Amino acid sequence: MSLLSLNFWRKNWEASSIPDLTGRVAIVTGGNTGLGFVTVRELARKGAHVYMLCRQESRALAAIEKIKSELGQGSDLKVDYINFDLQSLKSAKKAAKDFMERETRLDILINNAGIMATPYELSPDGIEVQACNGTGHFALTVPLLPLLKQTAAMPDSHVRIVNVTSAGYRWARGPDFSTLENLNQESWSTWGRYGLSKLSNILFTNELQQRLIESGTTNIFCTSVHPGGVSTELMRGPLQSWPILSPLVVVAKMMLLSPDQGALTQLYAATAPEVEEKDLKAALLFPIAQLTPKNDLAEDKERKLGMQFWDLCENLVNEKA
């Protein structure tokens, strides 16, 4: 067990606590590695039909074969791949369309894919790449809402939308989502841009939950989760920004949670009956599965930032996808 995990470990909730998911259908973005891989594996272990959404087909298919091997379930395992590029609004929208052409229900959506602390760069859509943590998942999620609502209306439904954020959302300063130019400000630091993207994940969760309630759908539970400091491929971003940090990676990995530990909070948010029992709508969860207060920006009581971000994403999708 890593040193950091000793501070976070919650003894009474583990992957074995996940209820039977037979008949449920799930989407996990970025599911071919790290937290996403563990999340796909554990949902599939409990009987869910899981769709792994990621960019590279070869890596996705290799990950699916690895899951089958680890679980020893061979061809009986229900895990499929759909192409999804977080940095492309068109790709995100098409992934939603491809999924809806295959399935008639969606019980669990886990927006797990992420980009962290990369050097300043614009996506092909002209969006700062870390900001795609928010815009890409918006473009995927919104087209899926009718199917999520349809599933929520079925008997014994337990529909969840989980957006993976980070404690780094607290690094966001002076957020302004009114225009793409403001979103793309190069003057913000690498970590500041990351914090802004992770703040947008929480704001999207808040606004999405409120809009669902206002539309009369009260039994879909949206949560934001911080997995903790986890040893995953996200470390590539900081190393691109600061190559001098390379010798510290080995030491850092000793201090970080393993992907198996880091995935627990999003698995809890996606499956635990307690989420509904405690009415954890728009909740922010820190590891492991702990309800955590938001700062004032993330609370966004007047919904100014949330609506601003929603409107910006809507305009970007209409323009570019």
Identify whether 120 is a catalytic site residue.
Answer: no
Angle at 127 between CA 125 and CA 129, to 5 degrees: 110
Q: For residue 161, give the amino acid letter.
A: I
Q: Which residues contact 240 (CB under 8 A, 6 or more apart)?
A: 118, 119
Sign (positive/negative) of CA torsion 243, 247, 253, 256? negative
Catalytic residue among 51, 81, 169, 194, which?
194
- What gap in Å lies between CA 41 and CA 37, rounded to an integer? 6
Helices (H), the chain: 5-8, 34-45, 57-71, 89-102, 132-152, 180-183, 190-214, 236-241, 249-255, 259-262, 264-271, 274-277, 296-299, 304-320
**Which residue in this structure is represented by tokens 């996200």?**
234
Judge residue 258's burial from the number of C-beta atoms within 10 Å of its C-beta, 0-12 exposed, 13-18 middle, 19 or more buried. Answer: middle
Counts of helices then strands in the chain (DSSP H, E) = 14, 8
DSSP state of 34: H
- Segment (H or E) for 223: strand 220-225
Q: Is the CA virtual torsion 140, 282, 147, 304 positive or negative?
A: negative
Query: How far from chain centre, in Å, is Cα 66?
Result: 22
Give the active site residues: 194
